Amino acid sequence: MTSDDTDAAPRGSTGTAPGPGGGADLHLELPPHGARRTVLAQALREAVRSGRLAGGTRMPPYRALAADLGLARNAVADAYAELVAEGWFTARQGSGTRVAEGAATTAGQPATPAAPATPATPATPATPATPATPAPGGLRHDLLQGKPDPAAFPRGAWSTSARRALAQAPTEAFGPGDPQGRPELRRALAAYLSRARGVRTGPENIVVCSGFANGLRLLASLRPRDWAVEEYGLPFHHGILDAAGVRPHPVPVDEDGARTDHIPARARTLLLTPAHQFPTGARLLPARRAEAVEWARATSALIVEDDYDGEFRYDRKPVGAVQGLDPGHVVYAGSLSKSLSPAVRLGWLVLPDDLVGQVLAAKGQRESWASALDQLALADFIECGAYDRHVRRMRQRYRARRDRLAEALASRVPQVRVTGISAGLHAVVELPPGTEQAALAAARAAGLSLDGLSAYHHPSARTPAREGLVVGYAAPPEAAFGRAVAALAGVVRGVVG
């Protein structure tokens, strides 16, 4: 149990911000037992809901409130962050933390009841391949894939690592730096990836970049024009390849992952998501993993392995990286966008020996390099065990959300299949042919922001697109998650009957 859970707080304490205009005086009744962050957040919600904290009220700095209430600073900071994420508070640099205007109605409960999820008719479909994002002001539940819980960012642990890394950084770390990345981070990554993902590498084969997209751009600039890509994937990544002049060759995907027996003969690079196919959620069969590696060896080709959410496995043992089968023919790519936060712009490429120099040359001017200070902080964050603890904690949280989503759909709409749920941060709700666009229209009307499965189908693929909803379950605030799931179930039930 952390100090945030055990610090006692006096009943009826008053939080007073120092100085004029420093924030509101608060009288909060905190029960003597329970996690301090939890009870403080609940007390603040009640103060807003009852009208004692009006919209626009400036809150005391979290340090001042922590001192007045006898709480750990992290407990107050985390409670503030939680309420910002839920929409009760707003936070802007230079303006401090304030109660959101209209928070008493919009954050605690909808100002007006959500309209029943009425399916649109197939005669008036939404625009194909367009996310079901409501018009500005209509968004109530963010179910877009690819987003971790922003309120769960480990601010205290990251701050500790950043301070420690800054204090211990060598003087040369504040110079121009190394395009390959800080040696401290490359050593930490080599040890972590070997232990947690089965990657075979040393620090000398790792190049730090600013995320997977940055790494993909570098590789696309170096590789021959013909790439094999899974027929389902992220359109943004397809756009990166298009911009580099790559000629894509979609490979069919089934319930066992990419059909490696369908890799085109002319391809010399294969972009693969073997641990958790994006977005269908399939795991690549061991026989297909071996077949892909044999193809790369026989043709002197390269596999680019996108391990975008390899840390999050729920119902099966972790799947090791394909790179471990043949480090000379596989590039392993990872980032922090799912496991920690997309705001920390750090990723990595684990490269075969002959590609390291080429990628470094392609990086070019140092303006595109990742921040050395963030690299040092991440190195400490990994080495002190904070990254492992965060991943384990989030694995439990996301699994619980996955279970709630699956159970609600199984209970209310038992005729639909929910797939891809053994790992990751999203699920696929399979729909009958001809119903996806109606479901997206109904979702938009119900205030749900999510995507259709067909939006991720490569436009050059020869097989017809399957229909479904790609549902991200990590990002919604905990207080709103039940309403989001209920609204989704209503939409699906209304469409499929």
| Least confident residue range of 114-118, 140-144, 385-389 | 114-118
List pLDDT tens digits, range 19-44: 333 445 566 768 777 788 888 988 88
Give the 3-state secondary structure of 3-45. Answer: HHHHCCCCCCEEECCCCCCCCCCEEECCCCCCCHHHHHHHHHH
The sheet that has 269-272: what strands, in order across it?
A: 206-209, 347-350, 330-335, 302-306, 269-272, 226-230, 247-251
In angstroms, the CA 360 to CA 363 distance is 5
Comparison of pLDDT for 370 and 204, the residue scoring more? 204
What rounded mean pLDDT belongs to the chain?
Answer: 84
List pLDDT tens digits, range 423-453: 889 999 999 999 999 999 999 999 999 999 9
List pLDDT tens digits, range 209-243: 999 999 999 999 998 789 999 999 999 899 999 99
pTM to 2 decimals? 0.72
CATH fold for the domain made of 141-147+389-496: Aspartate Aminotransferase, domain 1 (3.90.1150)
Q: Take residue 493 and report the two structure tokens written for it.
A: 């039930």
Domain ranges across the chain: 3-106, 141-147+389-496, 155-384
Whether pLDDT at 8 is above 50? no
Query: Do 3-106 and 141-147+389-496 come out as alike in CATH topology?
Result: no
Q: Tell me, what's the pLDDT at 26?
A: 66
Confidence band for 350, pLDDT divided at 50, 70 and 90: very high
CATH fold for the domain made of 155-384: Aspartate Aminotransferase; domain 2 (3.40.640)
Q: Tell me, what's the pLDDT at 139?
A: 60
For domain 3-106, give the CATH number: 1.10.10.10
Q: Tell me, what's the pLDDT at 121?
A: 34
List pLDDT tens digits, range 42-95: 888 888 887 778 888 888 888 888 877 888 888 888 888 888 877 888 887 667
Q: Tell me, what's the pLDDT at 94?
A: 66
Q: Tell me, what's the pLDDT at 91?
A: 83
Whether pLDDT at 103 is above 80? no
Whether pLDDT at 300 is above 90? yes
The average pLDDT across 398-425 equals 93
Whether pLDDT at 2 is above 50? no
In angstroms, the CA 214 to CA 478 distance is 32
Comparison of pLDDT for 36 and 340, the residue scoring more? 340
The average pLDDT across 149-173 equals 93
The average pLDDT across 465-493 equals 92
